């Protein structure tokens, strides 16, 4: 086989472990100099390919690449950009081939979620439909945990560990003060369509009465009356009530609660803030003082509290993607296959991109309790191993010591292309 | 000396390390069985003393007391309740003496902030003015870092480490996505009157251009025009802009920005949310997409990311309080004395409660840069050692394994007292 270069890009919302996949991929590629020349990273994802804005990772030292394993965010930049379909928008694909040819790219690695696997799937068709030989492999990544055909998605386990830790800790705080001060605490977490992250909060509650007391899932239409009854019961019994709510909480008609309420000073509908809306509802109807927190990007970048399982899987998937590509396996995504729940055992698998692209995995109905306010034992069995293990980054001057790469650009060879 | 019992209470907003002080205090008291009998904790702070709601800590095992060192929140409950002055409200003080007498309490330890040291000071006068022998010692605690006569306040260093870590991590996230998505990120932190916590965020920015780019202090009147110019410069230069804002940000007239803006769906003025108001201002005026996070209780309960320096100081102050009391030193607070900046060296000192009660330590003016948007080197020199060192709690099932005490009540001997 001849030596060819590889293209790697990060896509969609970044996570605290997507760079761990990049680390695994680049380290594995460097072990095969007779097959893979350089690894070019797309600056800001697939946009980097379309605009010929490539980063030459060979300028990064082995040490800095190793540091990617514990650095959050997307080291090469990411983007939300979905390629259109191949048949109607050939120009984009012709441009990709032009860039691939100019830089002798024979391997295309795409690290992302649903939309990204759709892009990867489309690119994987180039070889067949447009006659350019490129092996295309997907690497899963999404805090939303909504890709099918893999046990879980890198990024999710660390968010899960972070939110469960956070609501446990806040619960200790609220419990201390509830007699004379705040009785209600609401944590708003990500997950617009699926309640995986909200469910993960539930792991903090190992015994009855422990925070969080109530989970509000996007899968369960919000019923204010039922919710308020539950809050009152909780305050009566425990003296306080802690709630984790998904940003995607909606009413029976599917309308987001976040859109239902308040306008800001400028008359705009408020984005986000469902946590506050729910907390304010309690204050208005039951009169309890509340606090609320909005984890937002903190949850998906909290590398300091990453799950070791998650980090190891992200890394292993990066390595596996190179191995699959070197076997010539086109149009696949590397996956996690669960072998056992407890102790958790897993191995790397593979699944066709075609079966993954645009398919959203929902939470199983039996993961939510019958009353709609908590998780079941089946859910715990699934989630528990994903948050196991710690993997703290190194610290310098009291703070995590993350890497910033040089990200040196490859010299352009082509005309400008407007995406 | 005869054996007498001790009373210990936690007061005001709790922190991730106040239990570390409790741990030090109880462990030290147990080393002196010939002088200190039982340590009774007030359930929910001083209210526990007034209502004779005492917790007998002798029922807690040595192991569980040791676990307090790494458990956030207030293990015995806390409250916001300020004793009125002694001369006009003798009934409250007579009740305290009644409870102290009934339970042979000769030592009074109060663990809190400004208001709490005022309460401790008032109680310390009982011996002199009302003839009941009790030695009263204060133990500092406040995330606000605003007590005078001590280098810093336990609780602050850990919040500082948490917020600096969080905005560094979120900065990596935003930087990755800024080309095609969110360009503005705002983190709202605590500190209504003083910008210590906002300042601590600035430690994450070690080199020019690193997040956070802009700090908005309560000490600096908010000037929207100047702020927007700075945001635009930052986006032009770096592609994105990260901001840490204090909940206490105010305009030139002293009016809180959080109160200036929006009403919710029910017509109430929104509490908190200055982070969103500032972010929305950027969107309205400059058109940039934003995200914002509200750390709220997460920051002051994040024991998983505590500063080792902070934990050690909290513990040492608990131990020191017992030692001072056994020397008969009434009406003092144990303090931290800084001996050197780098490497940081400190020792335990003492200061009169009279000089601490109700005195608020502000940030020195030379800790904020001339433009009002960041911290100076003098500020870094002061803050840096306070976040140094990690002290992770033990983990079980992927989450911090915190203790819940039995908190067994002491049998009441007195009539009910309405506070």
Architecture of the domain defined by A4-142+303-357+390-400: 3-Layer(aba) Sandwich (3.40)
With CA atoms as reference, report the closest residue to A162 among A24, A314, A293, A335: A293
Local confidence band at A89 (pLDDT 50, 70, 90 cut-offs): confident
The pLDDT score that the predictor gives to residue B272 is 53
The pLDDT score that the predictor gives to residue A1 is 62
| Domain B157-301, CATH number (from 3.20.20.70, 1.10.10.10, 3.30.70.3280, 3.40.50.460) | 3.40.50.460
The pLDDT score that the predictor gives to residue A88 is 85
Task: Please check whether residue A111 touches B, CB under 8 A.
Answer: no
What average pLDDT does range A260-276 have in this prediction? 59
Task: Please check whether residue A387 touches B, CB under 8 A.
Answer: yes
Q: Give the residue carrying structure tokens 């105010």.
A: B250
pLDDT digits over B137-149, tens only? 999 999 999 999 9
Q: Which of residues 312-341 of A touch B (CB under 8 A)?
A: none
Percentage of chain B beyond pLDDT 70 is 97
In angstroms, the separation between the Cα of residue B217 and the nearest Cα of chain A is 20
Local confidence band at B41 (pLDDT 50, 70, 90 cut-offs): very high
- Domain range list for chain A: 4-142+303-357+390-400, 156-301
| Domain A156-301, CATH number (from 3.30.2310.20, 3.40.50.460, 3.30.450.20, 3.30.70.20) | 3.40.50.460
Task: Report residue A79 as tokens.
Answer: 């983007």
Task: Please check whether residue B211 touches A, CB under 8 A.
Answer: no
The pLDDT score that the predictor gives to residue B265 is 43
The pLDDT score that the predictor gives to residue A12 is 93
The pLDDT score that the predictor gives to residue A146 is 93
The pLDDT score that the predictor gives to residue A247 is 95
pLDDT digits over A229-245, tens only? 999 999 999 999 999 99
Task: Please check whether residue A184 touches B, CB under 8 A.
Answer: no
pLDDT digits over B254-309, tens only? 999 988 655 544 444 544 589 999 999 999 999 999 999 999 999 999 999 999 99
β pairing state of A54-56 and A332-340: unpaired
β pairing state of A184-189 and A241-246: parallel
How many angstroms from the chain centroid is the CA of residue B313?
A: 13
Local confidence band at A266 (pLDDT 50, 70, 90 cut-offs): very low
3-class SS of residue A370: coil
pLDDT at B24 over 70: yes
The size of chain B, in residues, is 419
| Interchain CB distance below 8 Å, A277 and B268 | no
pLDDT at A11 over 60: yes
Share the mean pLDDT of chain A: 94
What CATH code would you report for B4-142+151-155+303-359+389-400?
A: 3.40.50.450
The pLDDT score that the predictor gives to residue A270 is 46
Contacts of A395 (CB under 8 A, 6+ apart): A401, B390
Look up residue B269 and give its DSSP letter.
B
Give the number of other Cβ atoms within 10 Å of residue A363's Cβ.
Answer: 22
CB distance A387 to A65 below 8 Å: no
pLDDT at A269 over 80: no
Task: Report residue B382 as tokens.
Answer: 């002061």
- Tell me if A4-142+303-357+390-400 shares its fold with A156-301: yes
Percentage of chain A beyond pLDDT 90 is 87
Catalytically annotated residue among A44, A144, A151, A310:
A144
Burial letters B242-253, b for 16+ CB under 10 A, else e: bbbbbbbbbeee
Nearest CA in chain A to B77: A176
Instruction: Compare CB distances from A293 to B175, B181, B294 and report the shortest one's residue.
Output: B294
pLDDT at A271 over 50: no
With CA atoms as reference, report the closest residue to A124 among A135, A114, A110: A135
Residues of chain B with Cβ-Cβ distance to A392 below 8 Å are 390, 392
DSSP per-residue codes, A295-315: -THHHHH-GGG-BHHHHHHHH
pLDDT digits over B83-115, tens only? 888 888 889 989 999 999 999 999 999 999 988
Task: Report residue A194 as tokens.
Answer: 């699926």
pLDDT digits over B158-167, tens only? 999 999 999 9
With CA atoms as reference, report the closest residue to A278 among A236, A219, A210, A231: A231
Residues of chain A with Cβ-Cβ distance to B392 below 8 Å are 390, 392
Give chain B's largest Cα–Cα span. 73
The pLDDT score that the predictor gives to residue A268 is 47
Nearest CA in chain A to B46: A180
Local confidence band at A308 (pLDDT 50, 70, 90 cut-offs): very high
| Interchain CB distance below 8 Å, A170 and B277 | no
């Amino acid at each position: 086989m001849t030596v060819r270069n590889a293209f790697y890009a990060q896509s969609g919302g970044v996570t605290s472990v997507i760079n761990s996949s990049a680390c695994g991929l680049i380290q594995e590629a460097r072990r095969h100099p007779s097959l893979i020349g350089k690894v070019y990273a797309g600056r800001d994802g697939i946009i980097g390919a379309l605009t010929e804005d490539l980063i030459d990772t060979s300028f990064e030292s082995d040490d800095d690449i190793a540091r990617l394993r514990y650095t959050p965010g997307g080291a090469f930049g990411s983007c939300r950009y979905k390629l259109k379909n191949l048949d109607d928008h050939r120009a984009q694909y012709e441009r990709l081939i032009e860039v691939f040819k100019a830089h002798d790219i024979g391997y295309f690695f795409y690290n992302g979620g649903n939309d990204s696997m759709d892009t990867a799937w489309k690119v994987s068709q180039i070889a067949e439909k447009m006659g350019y030989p490129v092996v295309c492999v997907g690497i899963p990544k999404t805090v939303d945990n909504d890709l099918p055909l893999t046990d879980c998605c890198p990024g999710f386990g660390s968010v899960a560990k972070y939110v469960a830790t956070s609501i446990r800790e806040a619960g200790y705080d609220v419990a201390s003060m509830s007699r004379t001060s705040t009785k209600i605490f609401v944590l708003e977490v990500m997950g617009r369509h699926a309640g995986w992250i909200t469910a993960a909060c539930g792991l903090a509650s190992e015994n009855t009465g422990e925070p969080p007391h109530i989970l509000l899932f996007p899968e369960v239409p919000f019923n204010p009356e039922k919710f308020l009854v539950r809050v009152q019961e909780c305050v009566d019994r425990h003296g306080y009530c802690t709630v984790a709510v998904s940003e995607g909480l909606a009413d029976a008609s599917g309308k987001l609660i976040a859109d239902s309420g308040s306008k800001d000073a400028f008359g705009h509908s408020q984005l986000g803030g469902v946590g506050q809306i729910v907390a304010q509802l309690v204050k208005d109807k039951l009169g309890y003082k509340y606090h609320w927190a909005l984890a937002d990007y903190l949850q998906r970048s909290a590398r300091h509290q990453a799950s070791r399982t998650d980090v190891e899987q992200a890394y292993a998937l990066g390595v596996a993607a190179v191995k699959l590509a070197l076997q010539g396996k086109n149009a696949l995504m590397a996956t996690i296959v669960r072998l056992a729940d407890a102790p958790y055992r897993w191995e790397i698998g593979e699944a066709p991109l075609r079966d993954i692209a645009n398919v959203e995995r929902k939470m199983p109905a039996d993961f939510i309790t019958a009353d709609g306010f908590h998780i079941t034992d089946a859910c715990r069995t699934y989630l528990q191993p994903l948050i196991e293990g710690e993997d703290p980054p190194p610290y310098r001057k009291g703070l995590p010591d993350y890497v910033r790469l040089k990200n040196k650009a490859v010299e352009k060879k082509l005309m400008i292309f407007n995406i």
